[in-house]
């Protein structure tokens, strides 16, 4: 496997997304040149302002539909590496295919474009999700990169997609007091978005990361939020999850060994950043305080 180092050029897909904005920042700060793909330059004008200081090290190109064959043929030309993050992440649909088809076709489309037109491409970093790893379980279990969540694909085929959920909505609802005690007893998984972004950069230049699947998130209980000392959030039953084992556990050994990353930043720091973000966006009725 070949190491890619700055000032190499990286193609970042879905550059306007919540995650990719951080990924862009990390690659630029590390000295790479970046070409971002977006569906709309108008919608992504904030990126041009945000990264104006990087001059010609940063450019945006339009790729309107990532699922089309050849969508990335132009975009991959002249880049040394690809960070493919574009994929729908929403709950507006109850059809699994609305999420799975763009995820799969977007990936095969960019790999085919890289094969045909990306003669300089030496590394592809593909963003996935822990939901591709874990399966629902009632007994504590440790998941790692060898696990694949085939059960949910089957469940969605037979039961529909009511189990598909949104992590940000759950955090927002916990912070606004909209969650019930029973919901707070549930476990979630989390990671700081800045850590995931840094993982993309390190996965680009760490030789040993080539060909590997790498987990970066870890477990928490929603009940932990009021216990972090954050005010005006759903209270639930403080103390009720103390000492309870997590049912879903994720191993992050590979992130540490291959990328030198310790994914577990303190949960309080991550929640505090979310509180500040929601406050800054002026959501009505948002009163959580760190």
Does 102 contact ligand NAP by CB under 6 A? yes
Site for ligand NAP in 51-70 (CB under 6 A): 65-67
Q: Which of 145, 149, 131, 53 is nearest to 88 (CA)?
A: 131
Q: Which of 143, 153, 152 is nearest to 254 (CA)?
A: 143
| Among the listed residues 12, 16, 79, 288, the single contact to ligand NAP using CB under 6 A | 16
For the chain, the 3-state helix, strand and coil shares in percent, each to the nearest 5, are 40, 15, 50
Q: Which residue's CB is nearer to ligand NAP, number 1 or number 18?
A: 18
Does 212 contact ligand NAP by CB under 6 A? no
| Among the listed residues 11, 35, 85, 264, the single contact to ligand NAP using CB under 6 A | 85
Q: 9 in helix, strand or coil?
A: strand
Does 235 contact ligand NAP by CB under 6 A? no
| Among the listed residues 127, 152, 174, 216, the single contact to ligand NAP using CB under 6 A | 127
> Cα separation of 199 and 215, whole Å?
10
Stretch that binds ligand NAP, among 10-18, 150-158, 177-185, 223-231 (CB under 6 A): 10-18
Q: Which of 55, 287, 54 is nearest to 178 (CA)?
A: 287
Does 167 contact ligand NAP by CB under 6 A? yes
Residue number closest to ligand NAP, CB atom: 17
The b-or-e profile of 241-268 (16+ CB within 10 A means b, else e) is beeeebebbbbbebbeebbebebbeebe
Q: What is the DSSP letter of 45?
A: H
> Cα separation of 225 and 277, whole Å?
16
Site for ligand NAP in 254-273 (CB under 6 A): none
**Number of amino acids touching ligand NAP (CB under 6 A):** 20
Q: Which residue's CB is nearer to ligand NAP, number 167 or number 232?
A: 167
Closest distance to ligand NAP from the beta carbon of 238 (Å): 26
Please list the alpha-helical segments (H only) found in 118-220. Answer: 150-159, 167-175, 181-184, 193-205
Closest distance to ligand NAP from the beta carbon of 91 (Å): 11
Does 113 contact ligand NAP by CB under 6 A? no
Site for ligand NAP in 129-148 (CB under 6 A): 129
Does 189 contact ligand NAP by CB under 6 A? no
Phi-psi region of 260 (alpha: psi -120 to 50; beta: other; left: phi over 0): left
Does 17 contact ligand NAP by CB under 6 A? yes
Stretch that binds ligand NAP, among 16-24, 205-213, 236-244, 264-272 (CB under 6 A): 16-24
| Among the listed residues 12, 14, 195, 271, the single contact to ligand NAP using CB under 6 A | 14
> Cα separation of 212 and 83, whole Å?
14
> Cα separation of 23 and 198, whole Å?
7
Does 39 contact ligand NAP by CB under 6 A? yes
C-alpha count within 13 angstroms, C-beta hemisphere, residue 117: 14
Rg value, the chain, Cα: 20
List interacting residues with ligand NAP (CB under 6 A): 14, 16-19, 39-40, 65-67, 85-90, 102, 127, 129, 167
């Amino acid at each position: 496997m070949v190491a890619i180092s700055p000032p190499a050029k990286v193609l970042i897909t879905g550059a306007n997304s919540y995650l990719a904005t951080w990924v862009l920042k990390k690659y630029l700060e590390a000295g790479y040149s970046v070409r971002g793909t977006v569906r709309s330059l108008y919608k992504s004008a904030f990126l041009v302002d945000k990264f104006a200081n990087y001059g010609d090290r940063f450019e945006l190109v339009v790729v309107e539909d990532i699922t089309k064959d050849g969508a990335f043929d132009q975009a991959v030309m002249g880049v040394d590496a690809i960070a493919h993050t574009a994929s729908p992440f929403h709950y507006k649909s109850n059809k699994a295919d609305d999420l799975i088809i763009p995820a799969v076709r977007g990936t095969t489309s960019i790999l085919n474009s890289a094969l045909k037109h990306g003669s300089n491409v030496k590394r592809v970093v593909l963003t996935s999700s822990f939901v591709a790893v874990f399966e629902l379980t009632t007994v504590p279990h440790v998941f790692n990169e060898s696990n694949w969540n085939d059960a949910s694909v089957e469940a969605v085929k037979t039961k529909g997609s009511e189990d598909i959920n949104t992590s940000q909505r759950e955090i927002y609802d916990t912070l606004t007091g909209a969650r019930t005690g029973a919901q707070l007893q549930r476990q979630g998984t989390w990671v700081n978005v800045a850590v995931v972004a840094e993982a993309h950069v390190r996965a680009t230049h760490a030789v040993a990361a080539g060909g590997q699947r790498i987990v970066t998130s870890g477990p928490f209980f929603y009940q932990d939020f009021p216990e972090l000392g954050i005010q005006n959030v759903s209270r639930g039953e403080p103390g009720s999850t103390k000492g309870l084992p997590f049912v879903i556990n994720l191993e992050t050994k590979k992130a540490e060994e291959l990328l030198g990353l310790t994914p577990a930043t303190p949960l309080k720091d991550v929640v505090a950043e979310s509180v500040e973000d929601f406050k800054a966006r002026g959501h009505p009725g948002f009163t959580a305080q760190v």
